[in-house]
Amino acid sequence: MYDGFTGEEELEVPDSFVYSVISSAVKEKVFQLLVVSQIAKPGGLHLRQGVIIINNEKSTDINGTLLIRDAFSYYKRIKYPTFSFLSFQDVYSWFVNNDLLLKVEPTSKLQIALNAFTFLFDNNLSSEIELIYTCMALEALYTKGNTNITEQLNDKIQVYLGQVSDYKKSIKNMYDFRSRFLHGSLPIKPIDCDTSIWTVHDRGIGEATNLSKMILIATF
């Protein structure tokens, strides 16, 4: 049906739509930079809640980020895995050149692992759920099939990142916490429990999650 539009007229686009497109693009780019920064220099940046303002009007929120500071502190204690701080520009360029950043429909295991890593930038995730996502990423990168997952991770991670010297069972313990949580054998506190009350299991989950984050970063 002809609607009288010849292609020469100018379409009026609402400012709200323009602001939405701009803010979404800025938010995506900022998030990409945050993700890359924590791979290049884990723990080197810490941000809280932010907003995007266009023409003095709040357009959208940017979620605050827990980032990797706690995990990096844990790494300094156990000294594993070994990694170096890298050039942010080099890391960002590598991800862009290999078409890896924020793929809605990932087609490679590396893209899947990176997407799983982005979930760690949600303030509201518990340590248990963070461990699920990091182990999901590590499984994508290091394992084949559905059998002997713990052994595959333990052996292949140490082949790739070096032998664990002082904490021999740390990788196995890491995946054991993940499995126990998923299969209902790990004691779980009620959701309204005082979060300042820590248990032995909380400490174990926290250490396993921190280790899994640093192993994933070192792998990237």
Residue with tokens 């518990």: 126
Is the distance from CB of 29 to CB of 4 less than 8 angstroms? Answer: no
- Indicate whether 6 belongs to any domain: no
pLDDT given at position 31: 83
Which residues are bridge partners to 54 per DSSP?
A: 57
pLDDT given at position 4: 47
Interacting residues of 134 by C-beta distance below 8 A, sequence separation 6+: 116, 117, 120, 209, 212, 213, 215, 216
- Indicate whether 5 belongs to any domain: no
Spatial separation of the C-alpha atoms in residues 179 and 167, rounded to whole Å? 20
Interacting residues of 218 by C-beta distance below 8 A, sequence separation 6+: 81, 82, 83, 161
Nearest CA among 124, 104, 122 for reference residue 114? 104
pLDDT given at position 188: 79
Spatial separation of the C-alpha atoms in residues 22 and 11, rounded to whole Å? 18
- Indicate whether 207 belongs to any domain: yes
- Indicate whether 142 belongs to any domain: yes
- Indicate whether 4 belongs to any domain: no
pLDDT given at position 1: 43
- Indicate whether 32 belongs to any domain: yes
| Residue ranges making up the domain that contains 123 | 15-219
- E strand segments, 19-138: 50-54, 57-62
- Indicate whether 8 belongs to any domain: no
- Identity of residue 194: D
Q: DSSP code of 98?
A: T
CA angle 75, 81, 86 (to 5 degrees): 90
Token pair for 93: 């360029």
Is the distance from CB of 40 to CB of 86 less than 8 angstroms? Answer: yes
- Indicate whether 164 belongs to any domain: yes
Domain count, the chain: 1
pLDDT given at position 213: 95
CA distances from 97 to 26, 36, 51 (A): 20, 13, 29
pLDDT given at position 124: 79
- Identity of residue 120: L
Is the distance from CB of 79 to CB of 166 less than 8 angstroms? Answer: yes
pLDDT given at position 9: 47
10-residue averages of pLDDT along the chain (220 residues): 46 57 75 88 72 68 64 88 90 92 90 94 85 96 93 96 89 94 84 73 88 95
